[in-house]
Amino acid sequence: MREEDSYANLVLPRLLRSHRVSGRDAAFTTELFYGSLRAQGRLDAILAACVDRPLKEVDPALLDVLRLGAYQLLDMTVAPHAATSETVALARAEVGAGAASFANAVLRKVGQQDLEQWITEVAPDREKDLTGHLAVVHSHPRWVVRALTDALAGHGRSREEIDELLAAQNAAPAVSLVMRPGLTDLDELIDHGASQGRLSIFAASWPSGDPGGMDPVKEGRVAVQDEGSQLAALALALGADDLVLAEDEHWLDLCAGPGGKAALLGGLSVGHDADLLAVELQEHRTELVDRAVATLREAGCEITTRTADGTTLGTEQPGRFSRVLVDVPCSGLGALRRRPEARWRRTPADVGQLGGVQRALLASALDAAAPGGVVAYVTCSPHLAETRLIVADVLKRRDDVEQLDAREAVRAGVLPAAQQDIELGEGPAVQLWPHVHGTDAMYISLLRKQHAPTEEGLPTA
Q: How far apart are CA 336 and CA 334, in angstroms?
A: 6
Closest of 126, 128, 131, 153 to residue 142, by C-alpha: 131
Q: What is the pLDDT of residues 306-329, one digit of tens each?
A: 999 999 999 999 999 999 999 999
Is 330 considered catalytic here? no
In the chain, domain spans: 8-116, 130-169, 175-224, 227-449
Tell me the average pLDDT across 80-92.
94
Residue 455 has pLDDT above 50, yes or no: no
Rounded mean pLDDT, 92-120:
95
Q: What is the pLDDT of residues 67-78, one digit of tens each?
A: 999 999 999 989
Determine the pLDDT at residue 6: 56
- Looking at domain 227-449, what is its CATH homologous superfamily? Vaccinia Virus protein VP39 (3.40.50.150)
pLDDT of 4 > 50? The answer is no
Q: Are strands 203-206 and 195-196 parallel, antiparallel or unpaired?
A: antiparallel
What's the pLDDT score for residue 277?
98
Coil, strand, or helix at residue 298? helix
Report how far apart, in Å, the C-alpha atoms of 127 and of each of 22, 45, 137, 319 are.
45, 19, 14, 55
Share of the chain above pLDDT 70, in %: 94
- 214-250 per-position pLDDT tens digit: 999 999 999 999 999 999 999 999 999 999 999 999 9
Residue 28 Cα distances to 4, 5, 103, angstroms: 23, 24, 21
Q: For residue 461, what pLDDT is reported? A: 37
Distances from the Cα of 358 to the Cα of 5, 183, 354, 383, 448, angstroms = 21, 33, 6, 13, 18
Residue 420 banded pLDDT, cuts 50, 70, 90: confident
Confidence band of 10 (pLDDT split at 50, 70, 90):
low
CA distances from 223 to 76, 202, 292 (A): 31, 11, 8
pLDDT at 2 over 50: no
CATH architecture of 175-224: 2-Layer Sandwich (3.30)
Catalytic residue among 255, 301, 330, 380: 380
Range of lowest pLDDT (42-51, 92-101, 120-129): 92-101
- What confidence tier does 457 reach under pLDDT thresholds 50, 70, 90? very low
Question: For residues 451 and 391, is the Cβ–Cβ distance under 8 A?
Answer: no
Highest CATH level, class, for 8-116: mainly alpha
How confident is the model over 124-132, as a mean pLDDT?
97
Asked if residues 271 and 154 have their Cβ atoms less than 8 Å apart, the reply is no
Question: At 42, is the pLDDT very low, low, confident or very high (cuts 50, 70, 90)?
Answer: very high
pLDDT of residue 458: 42
Same fold? 8-116, 227-449? no
pLDDT at residue number 456 = 43
Q: Do residues 122 and 47 make contact, with C-beta atoms less than 8 angstroms apart? A: no
Q: Is the pLDDT of residue 38 over 90?
A: yes
- Nearest one of 207, 168, 201 to 436, comparing CA atoms: 168
pTM: predicted TM-score of the whole model, two decimal places: 0.92
Neighbours of 316 (CB within 10 A): 12
Amino acid at 320: R
User: CA–CA separation, 38 vs 135, rounded Å?
Assistant: 12
pLDDT at 9: 64
